[in-house]
Amino acid sequence: MPKPRLIIPRDPDGTLPDLACYHVTSRVVHRQFLFQDEDKEQFRVLIRMYERFTGCRVLSYCVMTNHFHLLLEVPPPPTDGEFGISEQELLHRLGGLYSRVYVASVQAEIREARLIAEGKREDFKRLSKEDQKKSLEFGQAQLAAIFGRYTKRMHDLSEFMRGLLQRYTRWFNKNHGLRGTLWEDRFHSVIVESGLAAKTMAAYIDLNPVRAGMVEDPADYRWSSYGEAVGGGRGAKKAQEGLVRAMYSFGSREVSARSWSQGGVGKDYRKILISAGMEQAEEHGNVQTKQRVVVRKGMSREAAEGELARLSEEKARDLKISKVIQCRIRYFTDGAVIGSKSFVDGVFLASRERFGPKRKDGARKPRGALGELSGEIWSLRDLKPDAP
């Protein structure tokens, strides 16, 4: 029986932030390379649909041929109105996931229940006082049930992923004439603090196709947040807003697509990606010929240095980030919580019952590739640097 998923606690004393951010990954069963261009595009469409419906925010993403990465922010549920969200907001969110006919039917259902709850039905005055009271209570209960049917699936990591993966599986199997499960196991999630940790994680996600040798420039990969942000399509603004929030989520900088170009965020983010995406040579053994083969991945050093010169001089911290995200980092999928020492300790204390009595604190200094940011980024788990 798998352990319950670790989620960021909502604590009343303010020691932890109200916003939770997660790095979420999942792989295709048997790690088969199944996803073609159309499949990746459909997954991206569904990401945006569930983002609108649930109220969660996709800060960064990358859809590869056999797995995906999401950096997902899960705000706390809103408290507007008697049911958390207004009728107008509910119908807007439903429009992201359902047809106009379906949304219209829900609107009619709400209208009918509201007439009962407000005593505006034609037969209301003919009822006895006792029956009038029951009718008003019934209408109010109906309204609460209608809203609750949908709001229980909003602002929740597990509900976002359950809906996304189930709906995509149905589409994929139907489109390819397949049956059965598509995903290897339940999705993995790591809690990520805003600020440096979120910025590093976003760039790590967008560099996936460069590390895999699929493209030299991360801007050339269409099914990623950075590729979408610079691609100029309909989703560019949404992708830009997500990356701006990942870069400067709780700073003084405005969090909007305007900051991407006018505020220089797009330029700053590209500096990190280009530095990390410089060409690297990897040596691989050929089993048949018993010879070593050198595989080069990424942008040539000359091209990268020229681009960096155009983008101007980098900050010292961004250089560290660039060095870190060149590598595959196990902490980003198995670290449980990533962030500052106080943040990781805060999550540990708020979830103390999940850990053994011998453990006194939460934060652990990372080793291996992430060790470059040791002292600035901490992990809840102490992983060996040579772990697979």
> Which residues form the domain of 147?
87-151
Looking at 292, 326, 360, the residue that finishes a domain is 326
Q: 211 and 318 share a domain?
A: yes
Looking at 299, 326, 353, the residue that finishes a domain is 326
Comparing CA positions, the residue from 132, 135, 131 lying closest to residue 116 is 135
Residue 363 lies in a domain: no
Is the separation of the CB atoms in 335 and 381 below 8 Å? yes
Give the pair of three-digit tokens for residue 116. Answer: 């009962």
Residue 70 lies in a domain: no
Count helices and strands (H / E) in the chain: 15, 8
Q: Is 104 helix (H, G, I), strand (E, B) or coil?
A: helix
pLDDT in the model for residue 52: 96
Q: 217 and 320 share a domain?
A: yes
Residue 162 lies in a domain: no
User: What are 280-317's pLDDT values in tens digits?
Assistant: 655 555 555 656 555 556 667 677 666 666 555 445 56
User: What are 280-290's pLDDT values in tens digits?
Assistant: 655 555 555 65
Whole-Å CA distances, 223 to 16, 132, 334: 33, 57, 24
Mean pLDDT of 235-242: 90
Residue 231 lies in a domain: yes
User: What are 325-356's pLDDT values in tens digits?
Assistant: 877 888 888 889 999 898 899 889 888 888 88
Q: Please tell me the total count of domains within the chain.
A: 2
Q: 313 and 243 share a domain?
A: yes
Percent of the chain with pLDDT over 70: 83
Q: 212 and 313 share a domain?
A: yes
Max distance between CA atoms of the chain, in angstroms, equals 92
Residue 180 lies in a domain: no
Residue 34 lies in a domain: no
Q: Is residue 254's pLDDT more than 80?
A: no
pLDDT in the model for residue 314: 45
pLDDT in the model for residue 147: 95
pLDDT in the model for residue 13: 56
Q: Is 384 helix (H, G, I), strand (E, B) or coil?
A: coil
Looking at 117, 134, 151, the residue that finishes a domain is 151
Owner of token pair 């199997």: 173
Q: 278 and 213 share a domain?
A: yes
User: What are 161-195's pLDDT values in tens digits?
Assistant: 999 999 999 999 999 999 999 998 889 999 999 88
User: What are 81-122's pLDDT values in tens digits?
Assistant: 678 899 999 999 999 999 999 999 999 999 999 999 988 888
Q: 129 and 203 share a domain?
A: no
Residue 224 lies in a domain: yes
Q: 225 and 306 share a domain?
A: yes
State the Cα–Cα distance between residues 220 and 206, nearest whole angstrom: 11
Q: 123 and 211 share a domain?
A: no
pLDDT in the model for residue 266: 86
pLDDT in the model for residue 291: 61
Q: Is 285 helix (H, G, I), strand (E, B) or coil?
A: strand
Residue 259 lies in a domain: yes
Q: 239 and 315 share a domain?
A: yes
Mean pLDDT of 263-279: 80
Q: Is residue 318's pLDDT more than 90?
A: no
Is the separation of the CB atoms in 41 and 219 below 8 Å? no
pLDDT band at 27 (very low <50, low <70, confident <90, very high): very high
Q: 128 and 247 share a domain?
A: no
Output b/e per residue, 183-199; b: 16+ Cβ within 10 A. beeebbbbbbbbbbbbb
pLDDT in the model for residue 14: 54
pTM: 0.84
